[in-house]
Structure 1
Amino acid sequence: MTKILYLISCAAPPAQAVATGIRKAQAVGWDVCLVLTPSAHRWLENDLHAFRELTGHPVRHQYKLPDESDVLPAPDAILVAPATLNTLTKWADGHADTLALGLVTEAIGLQLPLVALPYLNQAQAAHPALGRSVSVLRECGVTVLLGEGGFIPHVPKHGDLDAYPWDAALAALPE
């Protein structure tokens, strides 16, 4: 039986290489559905057709209308990658003002496996809201891959997209 993974990507540089994450997830047996934050959707809108072809599913970025059917199958797990400071702090506080946030806030209550792979620079990581938010999310059962074994914040303007640890995120998902 195929496992469904929602890959939720936020507007951070690794979103520009989200096809890498999709292919890696597919290679280990996941049927991937891509969900974008509104800003990530704006960044990637010229590639949406290619992502639909790659995944076999429409790319979602906004809530459906009440009378519309779901176009994606229900997820077995959710990976938020890249996860931004904005998404992590809003998620921890229970905000659901975008489809991406609505899915992950609800997934906590549904007890779905949740993995977050941040992409932050050291200045963003120094904000006190990040530590509080990561603690809250971890207490809720979210695997936040920040620090050793996950993503280590970089000097501002010196991120290395090729070093983004997609494999660590996929290894953290259930078998």
Structure 2
Amino acid sequence: MTSRTLYLFGSAAPPVFDVAKVVEDAQKRGFDVCLGLTPTAARWLEESLDGLAALTGHPVRWEYKLPGQPDVWPKADAILVAPATFNTVNSWALGLTHDFVVGVVAEGIGKGIPTIGMPCVNAAYVQHRQFERSVAELREMGVEVLYGEGGFVPNAPGQGKPKEYPWHLALEAAERAVSRA
């Protein structure tokens, strides 16, 4: 099987602590994985960053490179943003590219890179009107957002079940996206 490059981007939500297992699963599916994190997620995983870089074979990124610095990752065949927090989803839909992860996925839309997002938000956050608008906006831009039936279903605040986050659905969507491209 030819290796396909998957940019796996995670935000600071509890399922991000399982990212090493997700990387391994993606690798078993034939993906060369490049891991990017929001700054807070990078802080949460700070003690694991060297191990994650060794696992992927690429540096873990959470900051923009400086102008003139070479790209350290191969070109993406697909981008998966999971877990995507309330902040990440809204920033992405609004084009607020203050974080590396959001900047790359916003640009990825314009480059036509197949992109999948799967939120991880509680039911209180989704009551904010901007969240549904952001999900709709991303879908209109061609992003496959795994939210609701067949994707992530919000839980009550404080009732999260990070071990039940449907990572398999996100990886299956990435496989489908790459096979269609």
Question: Structure 1 length as normaliser, TM-score?
Answer: 0.98
Residues 124-174 of structure 1, C-alpha deviations (whole Å, 9 max, x = no match): 111111100000000000000011111000111111112110110111122
| 1:29 corresponding residue in structure 2 | 30
| 1:16 corresponding residue in structure 2 | 17
Residues 7-48 of structure 1, C-alpha deviations (whole Å, 9 max, x = no match): 000011111111121111111111100001111111111100
| 1:147 corresponding residue in structure 2 | 148
| 2:83 corresponding residue in structure 1 | 82
- Kindly provide the amino acid, as one letter, of the partner of residue 112 in structure 1: I
User: Over aligned residue pairs, what C-alpha RMSD do you find?
Assistant: 0.8
- Kindly provide the amino acid, as one letter, of the partner of residue 84 in structure 1: T
For structure 1, list consecutive stretches of 5 or more residues without a partner in the other structure: none
Report % sequence identity: 50
| 2:55 corresponding residue in structure 1 | 54
| 1:110 corresponding residue in structure 2 | 111
* Runs of 4+ off more than 3 Å: none
- Take 1:155 and 1:26, find their aligned partners in 2: how far apart are those partners? 33
Aligned length: 175
- Take 1:14 and 1:163, find their aligned partners in 2: how far apart are those partners? 9
Q: How many angstroms does 1:76 deviate by?
A: 0.7
For structure 2, list consecutive stretches of 5 or more residues without a partner in the other structure: none
Q: How many angstroms does 1:67 deviate by?
A: 2.0
Question: Structure 2 length as normaliser, TM-score?
Answer: 0.94
- Take 2:34 and 2:126, find their aligned partners in 1: how far apart are those partners? 28
SS of equivalent residue, structure 2 residue 124? helix
| 1:161 corresponding residue in structure 2 | 162
